[in-house]
C-alpha cells in the first residue's frame, strides 16, 4: 500500500474506518437488521465539508476540543451559536438575584444562560422563540445545566406577543431581544438561509407557519420584488435582480438557494469581472436578507414588539436590543427616542454600543451588531 493510501486510513495513529474515513461508527436502533450499527457518511479529504458530515461540531458536549479549535479560528461551529455582546448586555442590565427577566429571542440560549448565572438561583427568566426545532434543543441543554422550570420557563411564542407573557408573569425587571438569525439556522442547509449552501429556498423562522421564500417569489411582480429588495436591504441592483428573477422563473421555479444565487449572478453579469465576485456576494447577502424579512414579516413584528416593550417593563426596568442591519436599527432608535420624549422611558442610548475588536476577530458574525438600550420611567 502506498504512503498516501496508508495515510488516508490512519487518524491520530489509529486506523480510520474504511467506509467513512472518520474512524467512528454510529450505533443503530435495535431491530434495524444491520448488525446493530451503521457507518457514518463518508467524506473526502481529511476534514468534513458538508453540514451533516460535521458530526463533531454537531455534538459540542461530546467533542469540546473540536469546537474550541473551530472557535479559535474565528468560525462558529455548525449547530451552535456564539452569543454576541454578552459582557456589554450584562453590564447594562445590572441583573440581581431575585429579579424576573425575559429573553424575547431565546435562540441557542447563550444570553439566557449568562443572565441565569447572574440570578444565582433566585428569580426567574422567561425565554421565547418561534423555532420549535431549536427551542426544544435549547430547553434541554439549559435543563442539563441545572436550569429547570423553577427558574426558567420556555415558550414557543413570537416576541411580538410579549404582552401575553406579561399577563401570566407580570412585568419584568429586564428584557433582552437579539434580532439576529441564529447560526444554527444559517448553517443548516435544510433551512435555506444561506446562499452558500444548496438547500430548499425556505427562510422561515417558524417552518410551520406562512409560506416559504420560494412560494413568495412566485407571487411577487417585478415591481414588488424590486421594491422589497430596496426597502428591506437597500439593494443597489434591485432592478436588475428583480428583472432577472422574473425572467428565470418563467423557465422553472426558483425553489432552491442555488437557483436564486445563480439568478443573481446572471443579473450582475454586466459588471466588470474585477468587481463582479464581491458584488455578487454582497447582493446575495442582501437579497436573502430582504426575502427573510419579508417571509417572516420582521419589520411588522419588531414594530409591534417595540410598541409593547415599555408596558411589560417594571418601573426602572431595563431593555437591551441587538440589531444587525440598518432597517432594524432605525426602527429601534426611532421608537426609543419617541417614547423617551413622551416620558415613557427615562433614559435611552444616545449612541450604539458595538462589540469589541477582539470579539469581532473571534466571531465574524458580530461585526454588524449594534446594541441599543432603554430604561422604563419610574
One domain, residues 241 and 154? no
- Residue where one domain finishes, among candidates 36, 63, 80: 80
- Sheet strands (E) in the chain: 10-11, 14-15, 25-27, 37-39, 100-103, 124-129, 152-156, 172-178, 313-323, 345-348, 370-376
Is 113 part of any domain? yes
Does residue 277 share a domain with residue 211?
yes
Same structural domain, 129 and 175 = yes
Q: Is residue 371, in this structure, part of any structural domain at all?
A: yes
* pLDDT the model gives residue 58: 55
DSSP 76-105: --TT----SSHHHHHHHH---TT-EEEESS
In a domain, 198, yes or no: no
Same domain flag for 169 and 315: yes
Which CATH number fits the domain that encloses residue 315?
Answer: 3.40.50.150
Does residue 261 sit in the same domain as residue 245? yes
User: Max CA-CA distance within the chain?
Assistant: 79
Whether 197 is in a domain gets the answer: no
Last residue of a domain, one of 59, 80, 101: 80
What's residue 126's pLDDT?
97
Full domain range(s) for residue 41:
1-46
pLDDT at 68: 56
* Structural domains counted in the chain: 4
Residues 174, 308 within the same domain = yes
359 in the same domain as 337: yes
Q: Are 325 and 365 in contact (CB under 8 A)?
A: no
Report how far Cα 248 is from the mean position of its chain's Cα atoms: 29
Query: Is residue 125 in a domain?
Result: yes
The reported pLDDT for the residue numbered 173 is: 98
**Which ranges of the chain have pLDDT less than 50?**
1-35, 53-55, 57, 71, 74, 78
The CATH number of the domain holding residue 252 is 1.10.150
Asked if 307 and 168 sit in the same domain, the reply is yes
Please give the backbone phi and psi of residue 231, each rounded to the nearest 5 degrees, phi first: -70, -40
Identify whether residues 305 and 372 lie together within a single domain.
Answer: yes
pLDDT digit string, tens, across residues 122-167? 999 999 998 877 788 889 989 999 999 999 999 999 999 999 999 9
Residues 177 and 314 in one domain: yes
- The C-alpha cell that represents 235 in the structure block: 439593494
DSSP code of 112?
H
Cα–Cα distance, 205 to 133 (Å, whole number): 10
Structural domain contains residue 312: yes
**Torsion of the alpha carbons at 77, 301, 372 and 101, rounded to the nearest 10:** -80
Q: Which residues of 4-35 are buried (b: 16+ CB within 10 A; e: fewer)?
A: eeeeeeeeeeeebbeebbbeeeeeeeeeeeee
Task: Kindly state whether residues 31 and 116 are assigned to the same domain.
Answer: no
Q: Residue 319's closest CA among 299, 300, 298, 336? A: 336
**Domain contains 195:** no
Residues 320 and 361 in one domain: yes
Q: Is residue 348 part of a domain?
A: yes
| Domain limit, last residue, from 25, 59, 80 | 80
User: What is the residue whose three cell numbers read 427577566?
Assistant: 101
pLDDT of residue 31: 42
What DSSP assignment string belongs to 40-80? PPP-SSSS--SGGG-TTTT-TTT-HHHHHHHHHTT---TT-
Amino acid at each position: 500500500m502506498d504512503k498516501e493510501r496508508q495515510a488516508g486510513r490512519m487518524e491520530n495513529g489509529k486506523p480510520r474506518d474504511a467506509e467513512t474515513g472518520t474512524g467512528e461508527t454510529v450505533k443503530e436502533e435495535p431491530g434495524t437488521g444491520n448488525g446493530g450499527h451503521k457507518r457514518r457518511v463518508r467524506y473526502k479529504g481529511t476534514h468534513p465539508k458538508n453540514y451533516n458530515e460535521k458530526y463533531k461540531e454537531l455534538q459540542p458536549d461530546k467533542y469540546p476540543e473540536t469546537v474550541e479549535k473551530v472557535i479559535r479560528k474565528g468560525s462558529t461551529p455548525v449547530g451552535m451559536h456564539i452569543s454576541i455582546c454578552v459582557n456589554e448586555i450584562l453590564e447594562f442590565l445590572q441583573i440581581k438575584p431575585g429579579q424576573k427577566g425575559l429573553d424575547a429571542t431565546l435562540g441557542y440560549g447563550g444570553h439566557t444562560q449568562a443572565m441565569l448565572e447572574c440570578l444565582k438561583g433566585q428569580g426567574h427568566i422567561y425565554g421565547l422563540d418561534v423555532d420549535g426545532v431549536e427551542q426544544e434543543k435549547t430547553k434541554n441543554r439549559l435543563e442539563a445545566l441545572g436550569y429547570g422550570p423553577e427558574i426558567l420557563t420556555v415558550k414557543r411564542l413570537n416576541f411580538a406577543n410579549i404582552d401575553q407573557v406579561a399577563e401570566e408573569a407580570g412585568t419584568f425587571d429586564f428584557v433582552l431581544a437579539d434580532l439576529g438569525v441564529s447560526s444554527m439556522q444559517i448553517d443548516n442547509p435544510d433551512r435555506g438561509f444561506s446562499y452558500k449552501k444548496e438547500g430548499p429556498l425556505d427562510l422561515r423562522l417558524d417552518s410551520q407557519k406562512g409560506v416559504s421564500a420560494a412560494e413568495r417569489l412566485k407571487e411577487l411582480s417585478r415591481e414588488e420584488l424590486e421594491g422589497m429588495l430596496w426597502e428591506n436591504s437597500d439593494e443597489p441592483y434591485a432592478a436588475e435582480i428583480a428583472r432577472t428573477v422574473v425572467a428565470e422563473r418563467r423557465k422553472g421555479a426558483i425553489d432552491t438557494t442555488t437557483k436564486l444565487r445563480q439568478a443573481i449572478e446572471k443579473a450582475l453579469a454586466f459588471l466588470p469581472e474585477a468587481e463582479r465576485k464581491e458584488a455578487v456576494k454582497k447582493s446575495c447577502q442582501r437579497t436573502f436578507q430582504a426575502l427573510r424579512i419579508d417571509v417572516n414579516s420582521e419589520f411588522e413584528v419588531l414594530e409591534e414588539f417595540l410598541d409593547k416593550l415599555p408596558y411589560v417593563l417594571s418601573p426602572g426596568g431595563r431593555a437591551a436590543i441587538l440589531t444587525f442591519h440598518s432597517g432594524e436599527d432605525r426602527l429601534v432608535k426611532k421608537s426609543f427616542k419617541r417614547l423617551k420624549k413622551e416620558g415613557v422611558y427615562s433614559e435611552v442610548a444616545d449612541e450604539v454600543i458595538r462589540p469589541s475588536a477582539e470579539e469581532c476577530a473571534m466571531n465574524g458574525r458580530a461585526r454588524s451588531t449594534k446594541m441599543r438600550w432603554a430604561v422604563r420611567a419610574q
